[in-house]
Amino acid sequence: MPPHPSRPVALLDLDGTLMDSASGIVASVRQAYAHVGLPAPAEAVMRSFAGPPITWSFTTHGVPAEQLDAAVAAYGTHFSDVGVWDTRVFDGIPEALVALREAGVLLVVATAKPVRWAEPICAETGLTPLLDHLVGAPDDESETKGEIIGRALTWVRGAVGEAGYRAVMLGDREHDVHGAAEHGVPCLGALWGYGGEDELRTAGAADVLTSPADVPAAVLARVTG
């Protein structure tokens, strides 16, 4: 018997890739810095908090270890109450997801946003019916993007069985590129997000896309054929 064709899979970052969540994240980051008595970074720096694990971002941008837990807690409180809902799906993303689903691609979100926030916001914005599965960070946000992607791929292997899979990641930050590379998965960079072309290419993105309209063809070129 001929072998089963591999199932095409797209792993999808959430913040900065499927949805524009920067304004809600920035407001919560600003609240966290005020809570611990530190000056907030510049607006452009705070926008870079969208996507990576929040503990990494705070540590990278001046929050000392002894204040890290307090900053994360203050961020979480404000984000749960206010920031999580200040978001929108990027124009063209629903159409791209529909096209990929119709082409037989398994769509799995792999996000550093904790599941307790990622699931309700995907439901609220209408993304949930367009996706096959969502894997997010634990509540303490202790995992790296590579670990989150690893759990997503474990789910994929269970879903596709003996057929196997061919996967590609779509993300807007270096963490997406590096995390995917840990598992031998190429990453397409989303230039409509928060990382920028230099960051994505330096990290080793397989290609960079300028618009969500480019996503279906670019993904299919990597996972089919």
Q: What's the CA gap between 97 and 95, in Å, rounded?
A: 5
Other Cβ atoms less than 10 A from the Cβ of 69: the count is 14
Alpha helices by DSSP H, 132-206: 145-160, 174-181, 197-203
Contacts of 120 (CB under 8 A, 6+ apart): 84
Instruction: Name the catalytic one among 13, 15, 20, 176.
Output: 13
- Sole residue written with tokens 């409509």: 192
Q: Is 204 exposed, middle or buried (0-12, 13-18, 19+ CB in 10 A)?
A: middle
Examine the residue annotation and report whether 13 is marked as an active-site residue of this protein. yes
Q: Which residue matches tokens 């890739």?
A: 17
What is the set of active-site residues?
A: 13
